[in-house]
Structure 1
Amino acid sequence: MSSVSVMRALRRGACTGAVGALVVAGLGTGAAYADEAQTDQLWIQAPYEQAVTVAPADGSAQYRSLALGLYHDNSNFTVTDGRLTVDVSGLAGVAEVLWPDNCTPDGTGSVAVCDTGDVPTRYTPQVQLKVRAAAGAAAGAQGAIEYSAEATGGPDGKLVAPEYSAETSVTVGSGPDLGVSTPQDVSGVEPGSRLTVPFSVTNTGNETAHGFSVRLWATYGLDVVTRYPQCTYTGPDEDGTYTSMTYVTCSFDTEVAPGATVEPPEPLRLAVTDHALYERFDYEVEPGAGATDLDGSDNGRSLHIDADNTADFAVHGTEVSGAAGDTVTAAFRFDNRGPAWVGNVSSGDPVAVLDFYLPEGTTATSVPDTCRNAWKSGDDPAIGHYACTLPMWAKPDLRVGFPFQLRIDRVVPDATGRVVARPDYGTSFAFDPDTENNSAEVVVNPSA
């Protein structure tokens, strides 16, 4: 890798495995019923840990950014006038804080009330503290920042964050602190196109990193085009297991001095395949030579790539016949006709659920392992209801059968059951161009 001159990167919140998921578009939690008593809760978002570098003997330590914010649960309420109280008295002798303009400290300078304005339902940084090690604080010294918060709104007109729900432990350390550049998510990408990932490694620590390792993960709709000799590549299914990921592990011997940034010898490029839809590319860096990174919150990033593509989910029914007392096999089937795959690789949720409402006059005596009794209040008590789950991803041309053993308790001509495909949350698949084939019929004793 080649070294370039850059400014110190700002600290960002942890991203690997924690932000954004490959969630099927169109999923939702559903609106609350108007006649139900509604609740809301205020929350404080703050890092659990924060590392600062020990101050040099002949000067001051560098400040590090500490991102804080408030959010609440229920979007049916408007919550305003957020007030975050930050108590840094526990940092005495360990670290010192530089307050931003939207924080008003008290006379001691150790407690401040920070104005966060309107409170969103999804966390965004609203307060940026600057924290650095105090002069004379030795490596290993620790202190804590405590928080409390309240805001206007919610069912009772005022929301208060749970007591002791957030605290940041601050530790003085010495060593390398590697971080990777932050990408911008992209959408509307054409299948078959290529993207360049802005990948660089910055050392914001106070010691040189003697080499570093890199790990990359690409979902099934992405190919890692760039091949570095320092890396090994394992594609989907290459290791003999059914997987939806490409894994890359690399080891670079490049020295990364404090304040320096290094970039790969050639750009990191991805190919968006013809079966791409909701894709994710993760990358992570760690210092080499057995060194421990001072702060892992910016060691990994995630890039979400939404392709302009579709996946046609289809359900196929069946017809069977038998006499009263007979047990027959009624097997329906799920297909992904593509061209895209669909995967919930982050959440692990099923890519689809099939609701099967049994034909009248029948009882299920044996069901597939991935199906469960889903009868609920409001269903017809005379009709059995089962929910069958798909895996967390569906590749193009996937076919999954669901053979049910049905006992015919009484013969009902043209007894018709139905199978309906739906997301695990929500009611429809936004990526599906043909919703007409998301349901099918299972008919017992059809008329000639």
Structure 2
Amino acid sequence: MTTPTPSARRVRGRTVRLGAVCMAAAGLVTVGMATPAFADSDQLWIVAPYETVVPTAAGPGQEPATRTLGLGLYHDHSGFQVTDGRLTVDVSGLAGVAEVVWPENCAPSGTTAVCSVPEVPLTGTTQVPLRIRAVTDAAVGASGRITYSATAATTMEGGQLTAGEGYETTVKVGTGPDLVLEGPVSAEGVQPGSTVPVPFSVVNHGNQPANGLQATFYATRGLDLGTVDPRCTSTPVGEGGTVAPFTRVDCAFDDVLAPGASFTLPEPLRATVAPYAYSERLDINVEARGGVEDLAPGDNGTGVDVRAVNTADFAVRGAKASGAAGETVKAALTFRNRGPAWIANLRSGDPVAAVDLTVPKGATVTSVPEVCQPRTLEGDWYEGGRTGAPRYVCDLPMWVAENQTVTFPFELRIDTVITGSAGTVALKPPYGTQPLPFDPNHRNDTSMLVLNP
């Protein structure tokens, strides 16, 4: 197995928010990217940001603001227990740039410290919150670096794991506003028709004021934000269906946020949960107006889930067609979401489900919808082209509204007349074999395509 270098692992990319489905969204993920683990192997990884910016003091006689770097360890393989993690942090490269305050689980010696992680988890979380700030006389634009190494004990053969080399964080000294969005939190078990509070605030942790604030909200269709504020405008967003899957709300506020100041809406933000809501999402992003660059834009946005107690009855309907040998007949398979909830995979972009057709014996498919892929009878990829396969899997869209129908028009040539030749039409999850968790009625998940009934 080829192991990627730490420089290739440190940045996974940008977090996917609702805005990213329609447009680009921000938010840097700074944990390492794991490779697949084999049954007899494990790998130790270091969680550390690729870079961070620390501001100079906001004014004479003031201390520079402090940042917290979320450091930690994790490993790949659930079959092994990994303990006694030791993360070595070397800050010698910060001379003249920044200084650190070591957390309690770190034992410093000069410019290095060994930080203890007694139980190393399987996911990248913060176990070592390292506080860092610019030195008093640091110049704007100065930069330094922190380097890391790590070991841990494991129950696998050999008993020791060592993280790869090359982990580091670049620390830069900057000036400007640093808006940080705080709250809200996700909500589970919400009843359709109810209203949920989604309070949030914005704090300027930078050393320069933000002269005005731009806030953008993306709400999925099942959440109604109402009139957020008279200074806001709402726009339906999204194409490819009968209704818009999002609402985008843009707000422009003239409030000046001095360093350390906070902002909240004049009236607390609330969302009404629609009768057709199921798995909903609200994303919020803020930035200073006037094109002023934020010192650390990765904490300017957040997303919360609102999960409603609801169901959606997915159903499929087959078709009947008749013809003589050599004739081509049309057969349209139909999917319907009977509701009451709409279903959407807006973050992943995956289809909500798939319709699986087994072609009736004695016939050959000659025309196939674009979203349908040919398969062998066993479900493997069919190598003979798009037509003529014995089975087809048709992807539904990534979202379907309540009471929405989707039709898959096929054309089949009848090679041999077989009275009542039937092929199965079945609703399938997009991946795996587990039943769709929101569908309470599986009696209408299958139907038949019958030729010459």
Structure 1 range deviating more: 304-313 or 430-439: 430-439
Question: Partners of 2:17 and 2:93 in 1: how far apart?
Answer: 28
C-alpha distance in 2 between matches for 1:188 and 1:336: 22
Give me the whole-angstrom Cα distance separating, in 2, the residues matched to 1:175 and 1:66.
Answer: 19
Match of 1:425 among 428, 431, 436: 431
Evaluate the alpha carbon distance shift between residue 169 and residue 152 of structure 1 in structure 2; reply closer, same or farther with a 3 A threshold: same
Matches for 1:22-421 after TM superposition, within 5 Å = 37=39, 40-55=42-57, 58-105=61-108, 107-110=109-112, 112-153=113-154, 158-164=160-166, 166-235=167-236, 243-375=244-376, 384-421=390-427
**Superposition deviation, residue 206 in structure 1:** 1.4
The 3-state SS of whatever aligns with 2:93 is helix
The Cα of 1:37 is off from its aligned counterpart by 4.8
**1: CA distance between counterparts of 2:326 and 2:358?**
20
Q: 1:52 to 1:316 in 2, by over 3 A?
A: same
The amino acid across from 1:176 in the alignment is P
How far is the alpha carbon of 1:349 from its aligned partner?
1.1
AA partner of residue 93 (structure 1): G
Q: Give the whole-Å Cα distance in 1 for the aligned partners of 2:241 and 2:333.
A: 29
1 CA distance for matches of 2:372 and 2:154? 43
Q: Secondary structure at the match of 2:314?
A: strand
| Number of residue equivalences | 417
Shift of 1:226: 3.5
- Aligned residue type for 1:192: G
Deviates more, 1:76-85 or 1:345-354: 76-85
* Structure 1 residues 421 and 91, CA gap change in structure 2 (3 angstroms): farther
What root-mean-square deviation, in Å, do the aligned CA atoms of Structure 1 and Structure 2 show?
3.0
| 1:440 corresponds to | 447
In structure 2, the CA distance between the partners of 1:409 and 1:70, relative to structure 1 (3 Å rule), is farther
The answer as to whether partners of 1:360 and 1:383 remain within 8 angstroms in 2 is no
For 2:81 and 2:316, locate their aligned partners in 1 and report how far apart those are by CA, in whole Å: 42
SS at match of 1:360: coil
Partner of 1:17: 16
1:178-233 CA distance string (max 9 Å, x none): 11112221110000001111121111111221111110110010011233111111
Shift of 1:175: 1.4
SS, match of residue 235 in structure 1: strand
Per-residue deviation at 1:144? Answer: 2.1
Q: Which has the higher contact order (CA 8 A, sep 6+)?
A: 1
1:11 corresponds in structure 2 to none
Q: Cα distance 1:397–1:149, how it changes in 2: closer, same or farther (>3 A)?
A: farther
Letter in 2 for 1:141: A
Cα distance change of structure 1 residues 134 and 388 upon mapping to structure 2, 3 Å threshold: same
Deviation of the 1:297 alpha carbon: 1.9
Q: Is the 8 A contact 1:40 1:154 kept in 2?
A: no
Offset at 1:363? 2.2
Q: Structure 2 unaligned runs (5+)?
A: 1-12, 22-37, 383-387
In 1, the alpha carbon distance for the partners of 2:219 and 2:367 equals 39
CA 1:211–1:162 in structure 2 vs 1: closer, same or farther (change >3 Å)? same
Given that residues 375 and 381 in structure 2 are in contact (C-alpha distance below 8 angstroms), is that contact kept between their aligned partners in structure 1? no
Question: Which moved further from structure 2: 232-241 or 327-336?
Answer: 232-241
